[in-house]
Amino acid sequence: MRSLPSCTLLLLALAAAQAPAQTPVAKPRPSILVIGTGGTIGSAGGYWTGNPTRVPIEQLVRVPGIDSVASVASEQLWNVASSAIGPTRWLELSRHVAELLRARPELAGIVVTHGTDTMEETAYFLDLTLPGDRPVIVTGAMRPSDMAGADGPANLTNAARAAVDPRTRGRGAMVLMDDRLFAARDVTKTNSTRVETFQAPERAPIAIIDADGLFYRQPSPGRSTPLFDIAGVRELPRVDVVYGYAGADSVVIDALVSAGAKGLVMAGVGRGGLTPAQSAALRRARAAGVVVVVGTRTGSGRVPVIRDDGMVGAGDLNPQKARVLLMLGLSRTSDPREIARIFQTQQ
Protein backbone atom coordinates (compact mmCIF):
# COMPACT_ATOMS: atom_id res chain seq x y z
CA MET A 1 0.00 0.00 0.00
CA ARG A 2 1.34 3.48 -0.93
CA SER A 3 2.11 5.60 2.20
CA LEU A 4 0.52 9.06 2.53
CA PRO A 5 2.81 12.11 2.45
CA SER A 6 3.72 13.27 5.98
CA CYS A 7 1.95 16.71 5.55
CA THR A 8 -1.34 14.87 4.77
CA LEU A 9 -0.95 12.74 7.91
CA LEU A 10 -0.34 15.92 9.94
CA LEU A 11 -3.50 17.57 8.56
CA LEU A 12 -5.57 14.44 9.31
CA ALA A 13 -4.25 14.34 12.88
CA LEU A 14 -5.09 18.05 13.40
CA ALA A 15 -8.62 17.55 12.01
CA ALA A 16 -9.18 14.58 14.32
CA ALA A 17 -7.97 16.58 17.34
CA GLN A 18 -10.39 19.44 16.54
CA ALA A 19 -13.46 17.24 15.90
CA PRO A 20 -16.06 17.52 18.68
CA ALA A 21 -15.86 14.63 21.13
CA GLN A 22 -18.45 11.94 20.28
CA THR A 23 -21.01 11.67 23.08
CA PRO A 24 -22.12 8.05 23.32
CA VAL A 25 -25.79 7.77 22.29
CA ALA A 26 -27.76 6.24 25.18
CA LYS A 27 -29.65 3.16 23.99
CA PRO A 28 -33.36 3.71 24.70
CA ARG A 29 -34.64 1.30 27.32
CA PRO A 30 -37.29 -1.10 26.07
CA SER A 31 -40.81 -0.31 27.23
CA ILE A 32 -43.10 -2.67 29.08
CA LEU A 33 -46.57 -2.31 30.51
CA VAL A 34 -47.51 -3.93 33.81
CA ILE A 35 -51.23 -4.68 34.14
CA GLY A 36 -52.36 -5.12 37.75
CA THR A 37 -55.22 -7.51 38.49
CA GLY A 38 -54.72 -8.05 42.24
CA GLY A 39 -53.69 -11.06 44.33
CA THR A 40 -51.27 -11.30 47.22
CA ILE A 41 -48.61 -9.35 45.30
CA GLY A 42 -50.95 -6.35 45.50
CA SER A 43 -51.95 -6.76 49.12
CA ALA A 44 -50.73 -5.53 52.50
CA GLY A 45 -51.88 -6.10 56.05
CA GLY A 46 -54.71 -8.36 57.10
CA TYR A 47 -53.13 -11.19 55.12
CA TRP A 48 -53.89 -13.93 57.63
CA THR A 49 -57.39 -12.69 58.35
CA GLY A 50 -58.28 -12.66 54.67
CA ASN A 51 -59.03 -8.94 54.66
CA PRO A 52 -55.98 -7.27 53.13
CA THR A 53 -55.49 -3.68 52.03
CA ARG A 54 -55.17 -3.53 48.24
CA VAL A 55 -52.00 -1.82 47.03
CA PRO A 56 -52.24 -0.02 43.67
CA ILE A 57 -50.07 -1.33 40.82
CA GLU A 58 -48.58 2.15 40.36
CA GLN A 59 -46.99 1.75 43.79
CA LEU A 60 -45.97 -1.91 43.30
CA VAL A 61 -43.94 -1.22 40.17
CA ARG A 62 -41.70 1.23 42.03
CA VAL A 63 -39.11 -1.47 42.65
CA PRO A 64 -35.56 -0.22 43.16
CA GLY A 65 -33.49 -0.94 40.03
CA ILE A 66 -36.37 -1.94 37.74
CA ASP A 67 -35.87 1.29 35.74
CA SER A 68 -32.47 0.06 34.61
CA VAL A 69 -34.19 -2.95 33.02
CA ALA A 70 -37.04 -1.23 31.22
CA SER A 71 -39.16 1.85 31.01
CA VAL A 72 -42.11 0.63 33.06
CA ALA A 73 -45.66 1.92 32.77
CA SER A 74 -48.57 0.42 34.66
CA GLU A 75 -52.33 0.21 34.63
CA GLN A 76 -54.80 -1.18 37.10
CA LEU A 77 -57.31 -3.42 35.34
CA TRP A 78 -58.77 -4.97 38.50
CA ASN A 79 -57.60 -5.35 42.08
CA VAL A 80 -59.16 -8.64 43.17
CA ALA A 81 -58.20 -12.05 44.55
CA SER A 82 -57.63 -14.57 41.77
CA SER A 83 -60.56 -16.61 43.06
CA ALA A 84 -62.70 -13.80 41.60
CA ILE A 85 -61.17 -14.26 38.13
CA GLY A 86 -62.90 -16.69 35.79
CA PRO A 87 -64.00 -17.16 32.18
CA THR A 88 -65.66 -13.75 31.75
CA ARG A 89 -62.55 -11.95 32.96
CA TRP A 90 -60.25 -14.22 30.90
CA LEU A 91 -62.05 -13.07 27.77
CA GLU A 92 -61.82 -9.42 28.84
CA LEU A 93 -58.14 -9.65 29.76
CA SER A 94 -57.14 -11.49 26.59
CA ARG A 95 -58.95 -8.97 24.38
CA HIS A 96 -57.41 -6.07 26.30
CA VAL A 97 -53.87 -7.46 25.98
CA ALA A 98 -54.38 -8.27 22.29
CA GLU A 99 -55.53 -4.72 21.64
CA LEU A 100 -52.55 -3.25 23.54
CA LEU A 101 -50.12 -5.41 21.56
CA ARG A 102 -51.77 -4.36 18.31
CA ALA A 103 -51.94 -0.65 19.11
CA ARG A 104 -48.57 -0.29 20.84
CA PRO A 105 -45.78 -1.82 18.75
CA GLU A 106 -43.21 -0.07 20.96
CA LEU A 107 -44.00 -2.41 23.85
CA ALA A 108 -41.39 -5.16 24.17
CA GLY A 109 -43.79 -7.18 26.26
CA ILE A 110 -46.56 -7.12 28.81
CA VAL A 111 -46.46 -8.24 32.43
CA VAL A 112 -49.69 -9.18 34.20
CA THR A 113 -49.73 -9.33 38.00
CA HIS A 114 -52.24 -11.88 39.27
CA GLY A 115 -53.16 -13.84 42.37
CA THR A 116 -51.35 -17.14 42.42
CA ASP A 117 -54.31 -19.41 43.19
CA THR A 118 -55.76 -19.43 39.65
CA MET A 119 -52.78 -17.86 37.88
CA GLU A 120 -52.08 -21.01 35.90
CA GLU A 121 -55.57 -21.00 34.38
CA THR A 122 -55.53 -17.34 33.35
CA ALA A 123 -52.01 -17.73 31.95
CA TYR A 124 -53.02 -20.79 29.91
CA PHE A 125 -56.09 -19.02 28.56
CA LEU A 126 -53.90 -16.08 27.48
CA ASP A 127 -51.42 -18.51 25.95
CA LEU A 128 -54.12 -20.18 23.85
CA THR A 129 -55.75 -16.94 22.69
CA LEU A 130 -52.93 -14.42 22.12
CA PRO A 131 -50.54 -14.29 19.16
CA GLY A 132 -47.55 -15.23 21.30
CA ASP A 133 -44.84 -13.38 19.40
CA ARG A 134 -44.29 -10.73 22.07
CA PRO A 135 -44.08 -12.10 25.60
CA VAL A 136 -46.96 -11.86 28.05
CA ILE A 137 -45.60 -12.74 31.46
CA VAL A 138 -47.90 -13.46 34.37
CA THR A 139 -46.41 -13.05 37.82
CA GLY A 140 -47.48 -12.64 41.42
CA ALA A 141 -46.27 -13.30 44.93
CA MET A 142 -46.79 -15.73 47.75
CA ARG A 143 -46.07 -13.10 50.40
CA PRO A 144 -47.88 -9.78 50.67
CA SER A 145 -46.04 -6.59 49.87
CA ASP A 146 -45.45 -5.55 53.49
CA MET A 147 -44.17 -8.90 54.76
CA ALA A 148 -40.48 -9.52 55.50
CA GLY A 149 -39.06 -11.43 52.54
CA ALA A 150 -41.86 -10.33 50.20
CA ASP A 151 -41.23 -12.03 46.86
CA GLY A 152 -43.25 -9.61 44.71
CA PRO A 153 -40.46 -7.09 43.97
CA ALA A 154 -38.04 -9.82 42.80
CA ASN A 155 -40.74 -11.48 40.70
CA LEU A 156 -41.68 -8.16 39.09
CA THR A 157 -38.05 -7.31 38.29
CA ASN A 158 -37.45 -10.76 36.84
CA ALA A 159 -40.67 -10.53 34.83
CA ALA A 160 -39.45 -7.22 33.40
CA ARG A 161 -36.07 -8.79 32.56
CA ALA A 162 -37.80 -11.66 30.78
CA ALA A 163 -40.26 -9.37 29.00
CA VAL A 164 -37.47 -7.32 27.37
CA ASP A 165 -35.30 -10.29 26.43
CA PRO A 166 -35.59 -11.08 22.69
CA ARG A 167 -35.11 -14.78 23.47
CA THR A 168 -38.50 -14.75 25.22
CA ARG A 169 -40.31 -13.97 21.95
CA GLY A 170 -42.46 -16.52 20.16
CA ARG A 171 -43.28 -18.43 23.32
CA GLY A 172 -46.83 -17.24 24.08
CA ALA A 173 -47.87 -16.48 27.64
CA MET A 174 -45.65 -17.56 30.49
CA VAL A 175 -45.57 -17.60 34.27
CA LEU A 176 -42.64 -16.17 36.15
CA MET A 177 -42.32 -17.07 39.84
CA ASP A 178 -39.37 -17.62 42.15
CA ASP A 179 -36.57 -17.11 39.58
CA ARG A 180 -38.07 -19.42 36.98
CA LEU A 181 -39.94 -18.77 33.78
CA PHE A 182 -42.46 -21.46 32.82
CA ALA A 183 -44.66 -22.17 29.81
CA ALA A 184 -48.24 -21.43 30.87
CA ARG A 185 -49.24 -24.87 29.64
CA ASP A 186 -46.79 -26.69 31.90
CA VAL A 187 -46.90 -24.85 35.19
CA THR A 188 -49.02 -25.55 38.24
CA LYS A 189 -49.25 -24.38 41.83
CA THR A 190 -48.14 -27.27 44.02
CA ASN A 191 -48.05 -25.84 47.53
CA SER A 192 -50.48 -23.56 49.32
CA THR A 193 -47.91 -21.35 51.06
CA ARG A 194 -44.30 -21.74 49.87
CA VAL A 195 -42.61 -19.29 47.50
CA GLU A 196 -41.30 -22.19 45.39
CA THR A 197 -44.84 -23.44 44.84
CA PHE A 198 -44.87 -23.16 41.01
CA GLN A 199 -43.51 -26.23 39.28
CA ALA A 200 -43.80 -27.88 35.90
CA PRO A 201 -44.12 -31.61 36.66
CA GLU A 202 -41.96 -33.66 34.28
CA ARG A 203 -41.09 -30.58 32.18
CA ALA A 204 -38.22 -28.12 32.35
CA PRO A 205 -38.82 -24.44 32.95
CA ILE A 206 -38.33 -22.24 29.89
CA ALA A 207 -35.54 -20.39 31.68
CA ILE A 208 -33.96 -19.91 35.06
CA ILE A 209 -33.22 -16.37 36.10
CA ASP A 210 -30.06 -15.55 37.98
CA ALA A 211 -28.35 -12.27 38.85
CA ASP A 212 -26.02 -12.66 35.85
CA GLY A 213 -28.64 -13.49 33.25
CA LEU A 214 -31.51 -15.57 31.98
CA PHE A 215 -30.55 -19.13 31.10
CA TYR A 216 -32.93 -20.72 28.59
CA ARG A 217 -33.65 -24.43 28.78
CA GLN A 218 -35.94 -24.75 25.74
CA PRO A 219 -35.79 -23.34 22.20
CA SER A 220 -38.51 -20.85 21.22
CA PRO A 221 -41.24 -22.43 19.05
CA GLY A 222 -41.47 -19.06 17.28
CA ARG A 223 -45.24 -18.70 17.60
CA SER A 224 -46.90 -15.65 16.11
CA THR A 225 -50.59 -16.50 15.77
CA PRO A 226 -53.23 -17.33 18.37
CA LEU A 227 -54.19 -20.99 18.67
CA PHE A 228 -57.81 -19.96 19.25
CA ASP A 229 -59.60 -16.99 17.74
CA ILE A 230 -62.00 -15.59 20.33
CA ALA A 231 -63.23 -12.69 18.19
CA GLY A 232 -66.75 -14.12 17.95
CA VAL A 233 -66.88 -15.72 21.41
CA ARG A 234 -69.24 -13.82 23.71
CA GLU A 235 -69.34 -16.42 26.46
CA LEU A 236 -67.40 -19.63 27.09
CA PRO A 237 -69.41 -22.84 27.38
CA ARG A 238 -69.93 -24.27 30.84
CA VAL A 239 -67.34 -26.92 31.69
CA ASP A 240 -66.96 -28.39 35.18
CA VAL A 241 -64.32 -30.50 36.87
CA VAL A 242 -65.47 -33.59 38.79
CA TYR A 243 -63.20 -35.17 41.37
CA GLY A 244 -62.73 -38.91 41.51
CA TYR A 245 -62.46 -40.67 44.85
CA ALA A 246 -63.12 -44.09 46.36
CA GLY A 247 -66.82 -44.84 46.24
CA ALA A 248 -67.84 -41.67 44.34
CA ASP A 249 -71.44 -41.90 43.14
CA SER A 250 -73.25 -40.29 40.21
CA VAL A 251 -74.94 -37.38 42.02
CA VAL A 252 -72.47 -34.62 41.05
CA ILE A 253 -72.22 -35.66 37.39
CA ASP A 254 -75.99 -35.94 36.93
CA ALA A 255 -76.50 -32.55 38.64
CA LEU A 256 -73.93 -30.83 36.43
CA VAL A 257 -75.52 -32.23 33.27
CA SER A 258 -78.89 -30.95 34.51
CA ALA A 259 -77.27 -27.56 35.20
CA GLY A 260 -76.31 -27.33 31.51
CA ALA A 261 -72.64 -28.38 31.44
CA LYS A 262 -71.43 -28.75 27.86
CA GLY A 263 -68.26 -30.48 28.95
CA LEU A 264 -66.95 -32.35 31.98
CA VAL A 265 -63.36 -32.93 33.02
CA MET A 266 -62.83 -35.89 35.31
CA ALA A 267 -59.99 -35.67 37.81
CA GLY A 268 -59.88 -39.42 37.77
CA VAL A 269 -58.00 -41.66 40.15
CA GLY A 270 -54.59 -42.87 39.00
CA ARG A 271 -54.40 -43.10 35.22
CA GLY A 272 -57.90 -41.66 34.85
CA GLY A 273 -59.81 -44.36 36.71
CA LEU A 274 -63.54 -43.94 37.37
CA THR A 275 -65.87 -45.60 39.84
CA PRO A 276 -68.63 -47.77 38.30
CA ALA A 277 -71.25 -45.15 39.29
CA GLN A 278 -69.24 -42.31 37.71
CA SER A 279 -68.68 -44.38 34.54
CA ALA A 280 -72.41 -44.99 34.22
CA ALA A 281 -73.21 -41.30 34.82
CA LEU A 282 -70.64 -40.26 32.20
CA ARG A 283 -72.21 -42.62 29.66
CA ARG A 284 -75.53 -40.85 30.25
CA ALA A 285 -73.78 -37.48 29.98
CA ARG A 286 -72.20 -38.41 26.63
CA ALA A 287 -75.54 -39.66 25.34
CA ALA A 288 -76.89 -36.18 26.17
CA GLY A 289 -74.13 -34.59 24.05
CA VAL A 290 -71.71 -33.62 26.84
CA VAL A 291 -68.03 -33.97 25.89
CA VAL A 292 -66.04 -35.79 28.58
CA VAL A 293 -62.30 -35.39 29.12
CA VAL A 294 -60.56 -37.71 31.56
CA GLY A 295 -57.47 -36.60 33.45
CA THR A 296 -55.84 -37.52 36.71
CA ARG A 297 -56.07 -36.21 40.24
CA THR A 298 -52.48 -37.34 40.97
CA GLY A 299 -50.86 -33.99 40.10
CA SER A 300 -48.65 -35.30 37.32
CA GLY A 301 -48.46 -37.94 34.62
CA ARG A 302 -50.39 -38.74 31.47
CA VAL A 303 -53.80 -40.12 30.57
CA PRO A 304 -53.62 -41.13 26.88
CA VAL A 305 -55.62 -38.72 24.70
CA ILE A 306 -56.96 -41.29 22.27
CA ARG A 307 -59.37 -43.75 23.85
CA ASP A 308 -61.93 -46.16 22.46
CA ASP A 309 -64.76 -45.32 24.88
CA GLY A 310 -65.93 -42.04 23.33
CA MET A 311 -64.11 -39.95 25.93
CA VAL A 312 -60.95 -37.89 25.47
CA GLY A 313 -57.83 -38.26 27.61
CA ALA A 314 -56.24 -35.09 28.99
CA GLY A 315 -52.67 -36.19 28.19
CA ASP A 316 -50.54 -34.51 30.85
CA LEU A 317 -52.74 -31.45 31.21
CA ASN A 318 -53.97 -31.21 34.77
CA PRO A 319 -57.78 -31.07 35.23
CA GLN A 320 -57.95 -27.26 35.57
CA LYS A 321 -55.85 -26.78 32.41
CA ALA A 322 -57.87 -29.43 30.56
CA ARG A 323 -60.98 -27.44 31.49
CA VAL A 324 -59.56 -24.27 29.90
CA LEU A 325 -58.70 -26.15 26.71
CA LEU A 326 -62.06 -27.92 26.61
CA MET A 327 -63.94 -24.61 26.98
CA LEU A 328 -62.06 -23.17 24.03
CA GLY A 329 -62.40 -26.40 22.06
CA LEU A 330 -66.16 -26.44 22.64
CA SER A 331 -66.40 -22.88 21.38
CA ARG A 332 -65.32 -24.38 18.03
CA THR A 333 -66.81 -27.90 17.94
CA SER A 334 -68.74 -30.40 20.06
CA ASP A 335 -67.41 -33.43 18.18
CA PRO A 336 -65.33 -35.49 20.67
CA ARG A 337 -63.01 -36.63 17.83
CA GLU A 338 -62.23 -33.00 16.99
CA ILE A 339 -61.75 -32.23 20.66
CA ALA A 340 -59.29 -35.17 20.86
CA ARG A 341 -57.36 -33.69 17.93
CA ILE A 342 -57.20 -30.35 19.76
CA PHE A 343 -55.89 -32.08 22.89
CA GLN A 344 -53.25 -33.86 20.84
CA THR A 345 -51.87 -30.54 19.61
CA GLN A 346 -51.21 -29.59 23.23
CA GLN A 347 -49.13 -32.68 24.12
Question: Can you give the binding site for ligand DAS, defined by CB under 6 A?
Answer: 39-40, 81-82, 115-117, 140, 142
Spell out the alpha helix ranges (H) of the chain: 6-18, 57-60, 87-103, 119-129, 152-163, 251-258, 276-287, 319-330, 336-345
State the catalytic residue, choosing from 40, 129, 168, 296. Answer: 40
Decide the pairing of beta strands 71-80 and 107-113.
Answer: unpaired
Pick between residue 195 and residue 264 the one whose CB is nearest to ligand DAS: 195
Answer yes or no: 193 catalytic.
no
Cβ(20)–Cβ(38) under 8 Å?
A: no
* Minimum gap (Å) between residue 177 Cβ and ligand DAS: 10
Pick between residue 141 and residue 256 the one whose CB is nearest to ligand DAS: 141
DSSP 3-state percent helix, strand, coil across the chain (nearest 5): 30, 20, 45
Pick between residue 142 and residue 342 the one whose CB is nearest to ligand DAS: 142
In degrees and rounded to multiples of 5, residue 277 shows phi and psi of -70, -40
* Minimum gap (Å) between residue 26 Cβ and ligand DAS: 37
Residue showing the smallest CB distance to ligand DAS in the complex? 115
* Minimum gap (Å) between residue 190 Cβ and ligand DAS: 13
* Minimum gap (Å) between residue 115 Cβ and ligand DAS: 2
Residue 171 neighbours by CB under 8 Å, 6+ apart: 132, 135, 183, 206, 220, 221, 223
DSSP assignment string, 233-267:
-SSPPPEEEEE--TT--SHHHHHHHHTT-SEEEEE
Pick between residue 83 and residue 224 the one whose CB is nearest to ligand DAS: 83
What is the set of active-site residues? 40
